[in-house]
């Protein structure tokens, strides 16, 4: 298949492009390198050094003998988006190219507006480009489990059958997201479902949980193929952060009680889910939703798993929760769709965490401890940036 990976320079976009190329697909990546710019804005860097795109692509060519084409541009520019899609003529578009950090979207008005404009407009341009170039192109879009929030009923895969006053209908599952970032993905989902309904587009929305891990079989082949590993309080995700904190002897930063529960997924399963969704496309007109998680843990449980796997001393600190989120709640997620397509999950294990400790230990001198503690407060309409604190 010809597969275009939008956001192909990011934490997950890059390993996904390699995985798909490794499996024999004709792959192109597109990126505006915004993720690297956020590092400059925040004054932080990936724990694991990453190479520029040109070096990555050349390393992949040397290691695998395969080439990946690269496009540089911004999806918010609708002309660029349609021209790129017309040029590459993909069978499938995998769309990772969004601002993906909840805390970043909650810094202040400017960051909230940027996040929603960037994500919603970029996604709309992709939908229009597909409709214009070839409505048969399958869109595989990265959504988030955070679109649902933490409802007091089971979370279904995107759709819910509701009986109301004796009548029954199948409706989009009600959403109660927890940040302006998560809201941007809700807006995307609605736009995509509408495009499927009016233009007969085919789309798969992957509502992914919190990803952990840093290596896939392909990124491990050469240090130049490494993907990023974030530890800062804005872009670092919870399990990855706890691993680095354990290695540094820093207390694990559990927000609030730690009773808040999230779906998790190993990075190796992420790339495999994208392959499975791409190779088994949705039907024309179908808005298909999968919940892309393999297990659920509370934050407190994640801290315990990390502490128990680490050979040294680990302490846990309960910080005042900077976010507004339910800390004790029901959480039961249906996630059978991807398993039915053939996913064999890597469940969280000591082996994985031990290998992550190794990665963190190797690069621990690159950590800026000042970036570890959360500064963005959900209850405030404007949080100071690090440089202004």
Ligand X SMILES: O=c1ccn([C@@H]2O[C@H](COP(=O)(O)OP(=O)(O)O[C@H]3O[C@H](CS(=O)(=O)O)[C@@H](O)[C@H](O)[C@H]3O)[C@@H](O)[C@H]2O)c(=O)[nH]1
234 Cβ contact list (under 8 Å, min separation 6):
38, 42, 44, 101, 103, 104, 371, 376
Report the 10 Å Cβ neighbour count for 146: 25
Q: Which helix (H) or strand (E) holds 20?
A: helix 13-22
Residue 67 designated active-site = no
* H helices present in the chain, as ranges: 13-22, 34-42, 53-64, 78-88, 102-105, 109-116, 122-133, 180-199, 238-248, 267-279, 299-309, 337-340, 350-362
The interface with ligand X within residues 335-374 (CB under 6 A) comprises none
Maximum C-alpha span of the chain: 64
- Is 101 a residue that touches ligand X (CB under 6 A)? yes
Sign of the C-alpha dihedral computed for residues 244, 246, 247 and 249 taken in this order: positive
| Contacting residue, 10, 15, 263, 281, with ligand X by CB under 6 A | 263
- Is 146 a residue that touches ligand X (CB under 6 A)? yes
Tell me whether residue 22 or residue 325 sits nearer to ligand X (CB atom).
Answer: 325
- Is 260 a residue that touches ligand X (CB under 6 A)? yes
Residue 181 designated active-site = yes
The interface with ligand X within residues 165-184 (CB under 6 A) comprises 182
Sheet of strand 287-292, all strands in order from the earlier edge strand to the far edge: 69-72, 26-31, 2-6, 92-95, 138-144, 202-208, 287-292
- Is 299 a residue that touches ligand X (CB under 6 A)? yes
Catalytic residue among 148, 185, 255, 261: 185
Site string for ligand X, 217-246 (x = CB under 6 A): --------------------xx--x-----
Tell me whether residue 135 or residue 345 sits nearer to ligand X (CB atom).
Answer: 345
| Contacting residue, 5, 50, 97, 210, with ligand X by CB under 6 A | 210
- Site stretch for ligand X (CB under 6 A), options 45-53, 83-91, 144-152, 160-168: 144-152
Residue 66 designated active-site = no
Contact 168, 232 (CB under 8 A): no
- Is 262 a residue that touches ligand X (CB under 6 A)? yes
How big is the chain, counted in residues?
A: 389
Among candidate residues 27, 31, 25, 116, the one with its CA nearest the CA of residue 81: 31
Catalytic residue among 92, 115, 144, 261: 144
* Number of chain positions touching ligand X (CB under 6 A): 22
- Site stretch for ligand X (CB under 6 A), options 190-198, 221-229, 257-265, 339-347: 257-265
Binding region for ligand X (CB under 6 A): 100-102, 144-146, 182, 208-210, 237-238, 241, 253-255, 260, 262-263, 299, 323, 325
Q: Write out the catalytic residue numbers.
A: 144, 181, 185
């Amino acid at each position: 298949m010809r597969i275009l990976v939008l956001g192909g320079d990011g934490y997950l976009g890059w390993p996904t492009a390699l995985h798909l190329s490794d499996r024999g697909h004709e792959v192109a990546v597109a990126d505006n390198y915004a993720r690297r710019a956020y590092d400059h804005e925040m004054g932080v860097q990936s724990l694991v050094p990453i190479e520029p795109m040109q070096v990555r692509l050349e390393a992949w060519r040397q290691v695998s003998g395969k080439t990946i084409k690269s496009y540089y541009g911004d999806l918010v520019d609708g002309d660029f988006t349609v021209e790129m899609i017309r040029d590459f003529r993909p069978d499938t578009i995998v769309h990772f190219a969004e601002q993906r950090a909840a805390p970043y979207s909650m810094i202040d008005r400017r960051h909230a507006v940027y996040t929603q404009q960037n994500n919603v407009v970029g996604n709309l341009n992709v939908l229009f480009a597909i409709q214009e170039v070839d409505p048969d192109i399958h869109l595989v879009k990265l959504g988030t489990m955070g679109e649902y929030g933490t409802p007091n009923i089971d979370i279904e895969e995107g759709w819910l059958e509701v009986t109301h006053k004796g009548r029954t209908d199948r409706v989009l599952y009600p959403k109660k997201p927890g940040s302006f970032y998560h809201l941007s993905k809700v807006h995307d989902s609605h736009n995509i479902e509408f495009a499927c309904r009016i233009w007969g587009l085919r789309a798969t929305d992957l509502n992914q949980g919190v990803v952990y891990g840093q290596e896939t079989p392909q990124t491990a082949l050469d240090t130049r193929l490494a993907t990023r590993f974030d530890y800062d309080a804005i872009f670092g995700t919870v399990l990855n952060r706890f691993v680095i904190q354990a290695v540094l002897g820093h207390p694990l930063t559990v927000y609030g009680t730690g009773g808040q529960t999230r779906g998790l997924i190993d990075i190796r399963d992420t790339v495999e889910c994208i392959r499975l969704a791409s190779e088994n496309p949705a039907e024309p007109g179908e808005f298909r939703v999968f919940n892309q998680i393999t297990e659920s843990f509370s934050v407190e449980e994640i801290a315990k798993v990390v502490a128990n796997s680490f050979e040294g001393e680990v302490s846990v600190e309960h910080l005042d929760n900077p976010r507004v989120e339910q800390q004790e709640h029901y959480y039961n997620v249906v996630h059978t769709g991807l398993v039915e397509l053939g996913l064999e999950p890597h469940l969280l294990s000591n082996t994985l965490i031990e290998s992550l400790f190794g990665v963190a230990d190797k690069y621990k001198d690159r950590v800026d401890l000042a970036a570890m503690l959360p500064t963005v407060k959900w209850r405030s309409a404007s949080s100071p940036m690090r440089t202004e604190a």
